[in-house]
Amino acid sequence: MPLDSPTIAKDLAARGLRLTRQRLAVIEAVTEARGSVSPIQVFDSARRRCPDLGLTTVYRTLEVLGEIGAVRRVHGPDHCEAFAAAGARHGHCVICSCCGRVSEFTECDLATVVAAAARQTGYRITEHVLQLSGICAECQAEAAQARRGTT
Amino acid sequence: MPLDSPTIAKDLAARGLRLTRQRLAVIEAVTEARGSVSPIQVFDSARRRCPDLGLTTVYRTLEVLGEIGAVRRVHGPDHCEAFAAAGARHGHCVICSCCGRVSEFTECDLATVVAAAARQTGYRITEHVLQLSGICAECQAEAAQARRGTT
DNA sequence: GAGCCAGTTGAAAACAGTTCCCGTTTTCAG
DNA sequence: CTGAAAACGGGAACTGTTTTCAACTGGCTC
């Protein structure tokens, strides 16, 4: 997990950027959310830690963090501009459509799929967005419990 | 390709909806674009055919068409709200980052990937968004030609 | 054909999220 | 300490989207 301050500070410094109080607050807000969050949610959460934080800064910071790979953009069928803490460098993630939690998985065997697509379409494929959504283990358990309760 | 009027008219009728002049204009605009288009682009294009078309209607129509599967939402790393004509019922598509063209591919062997993700994360995966982007054959050819020209 | 009704429409207003602008503040190297 | 670069916050501006509403279809029955 590259979401520890020293690593990020280093990544920022490599671009001549700084790890400020505000940026730290944004990072922590995204990290402890352990789910995907919108810029506004980040704003609200980070503000508890850093009350004079501006929304503009949140946007700027999320962009910067996205560039250095500390934070990842999360897509979904409907919502599109959410962020989550990034773990492995090139992993994908599953988002729980019930509680919003985000989990990563690394076994990215997309190579086969990508190759097949390339063969079929003639494209040279350079990027892919794979976003899975479903129900996380806990929400499944809760749902099961609820069912038992009502039955 | 379900983008012929009779099929769509039928799909609409099944929901008690009509295939109006405006909706037809939107459908044609999306179809002949042969690439992904934003609501505004659809608006501009469809308006040539139906000058009194309103932007509101474009949004409404794109949504309806999306629901009946005649049109597909196209995602990308940055742009998120684009539409393209849908071919196969559950196919995926590749979008050319150069010219915007969209091609479909059907060999969707994601099952393996999805299963692996489910195993690794414990989620019950219900949906997936897979969006590839790259350079289409023609743009590759053009690029190659341009390179030859300048060398 | 008249009348009805659900579906459809466009314009304008409202809205939400995002970006821009600008003067101020902070940080850091020298 | 000083100057330059980076970063900041607030508010205005902007963009894309949705809502609202009154008017308008087109098919239907009578």
Reply yes or no on whether the pLDDT at B87 is more than 70. Answer: no
Please compute the mean of the pLDDT values over residues B102-111 and round it to a whole number. 75
Confidence of residue B58 (pLDDT cuts 50, 70, 90): very high
pLDDT of A105 reads 81
Q: Are strands B82-85 and B71-74 parallel, antiparallel or unpaired?
A: antiparallel
pLDDT at B148: 81
CA distance A31 to A37: 10
Buried b (16+ CB within 10 A) or exposed e, A38-53: ebebbbebbbeebeeb
Instruction: State which residue has its Cα closest to the C1' atom of C20.
Output: A56
What backbone phi and psi angles, to 5 degrees, belong to B147? Answer: -65, -45
- Chains A and B form CB pairs within 8 A to the count of 141
Q: How confident is the model at residue B48 (pLDDT cuts 50, 70, 90)?
A: very high
Q: Answer yes or no: are the C-beta atoms of B57 and B121 closer than 8 Å.
A: no
Side-chain-side CA neighbours of residue B3 (13 Å) = 21
Distances in Å between the alpha carbon of A80 and those of A74, B39, B70?
A: 7, 16, 22
Q: Which amino acid is at A78?
A: D
Contact of B75 with chain A, judged by CB distance below 8 Å, is answered with yes
> Which residues, in sequence order, are CB contacts of A40 under 8 Å at separation 6+?
A55
pLDDT confidence of B2, banded at 50, 70, 90? low
Q: Residue B15: is its pLDDT beyond 80?
A: yes
Stated as kind and residue range, the H or E segment containing A16 is none
pLDDT of A41 reads: 93
User: What pLDDT score does A29 carry?
Assistant: 94
Read off the pLDDT band of B135 (50, 70, 90): confident
Task: Tell me the two tokens of residue A98.
Answer: 């019930």
pLDDT tens for chain A, 151 residues long, are 456 777 888 889 888 899 999 999 999 999 888 778 899 999 999 999 999 999 999 999 999 999 888 888 887 656 678 888 876 545 677 877 777 777 878 766 778 888 888 888 899 988 777 878 888 888 888 888 887 887 6
What is the pTM for the complete model shown? 0.76
Looking at per-residue pLDDT, the higher value among A144 and B108 belongs to: A144
Any CB–CB contact under 8 A between B77 and chain A? yes
Alpha-carbon gap, residue A91 to A132, rounded angstroms: 12
Query: Does residue A135 contact residue B126 with C-beta atoms inside 8 Å?
Result: yes
Q: How close does chain B come to A13, measured CA to CA in Å?
A: 25
Would you say how long chain A is, in residues?
Answer: 151
Confidence of residue B41 (pLDDT cuts 50, 70, 90): very high
* pLDDT band for position B131 (cuts 50, 70, 90): confident
SS3 A129: strand
From CA A58, how far away is CA A39, in angstroms rounded? 7
Q: How far apart are CA A61 and CA A27, in angstroms?
A: 9
CA gap A16, A35 in Å, rounded:
30
pLDDT on residue A108: 64
Please give the DSSP secondary-structure letter assigned to residue B36: -
Nearest protein residue to nucleotide D20, judged by CA and C1' positions: B56
